[in-house]
Amino acid sequence: MQSVPPVPQRKKSSTDVIRLHNAVFYAYHGVLSDEQTLGGKFEVDVELHVDLSRGAHTDDLQQTVNYERVYDSIKQLVLGKKYFLIEALAETIADGMLKGFKKVEKVVVRVRKPSAPVRGVIDHVEVEIARARK
C-alpha cells in the first residue's frame, strides 16, 4: 500500500487575485476643452494580486482586502482631479492601490474611454498599467 504524501505548505505568491470589473464614472478627463468641460464616461478595471489564504481560512475581512474600500478609493481618484491622459489616471489609480492597501503585491489597472474623440469608429480606447511593490 502506497502512502499519500502530505499536503505541501502554500508558499507566498501573487497568484491570488481580487478583480473589480467595469467601475463606471462620469468625469472630466481629456486633452480637448470639450472633454474637460462636458465630461464623459470612464470605465475602470482593477486586478489586485494579493495572498488571499489568510482571509480564505479565517473568513475574516480584516485578513484580506476590503473591495468596498477599493471601490471608494478608485472613485475618489477618478473624480478628484482632471487628467489630460487616461495613462496618467491609470498610473494614479495603480499608485493609490499600492499605497492604500498594504497587502496588495501587484496591481493591474485598465482605464477605458468610450467614445474617445478619434477620426474613426471604435468602441473605446483602453490603457493598461501594471505596477508592483519594490
Can you say whether residue 80 is alpha, beta or left, with left for phi > 0 and alpha for psi between -120 and 50 degrees? alpha
C-alpha cell at 99: 499605497
**Residues recognised as catalytic:** 113
CA 54 – CA 12 distance, rounded (Å): 11
The CA distance from 110 to 6, in Å, is 40
> Residue 63 and residue 37: Cα distance in Å, rounded?
42
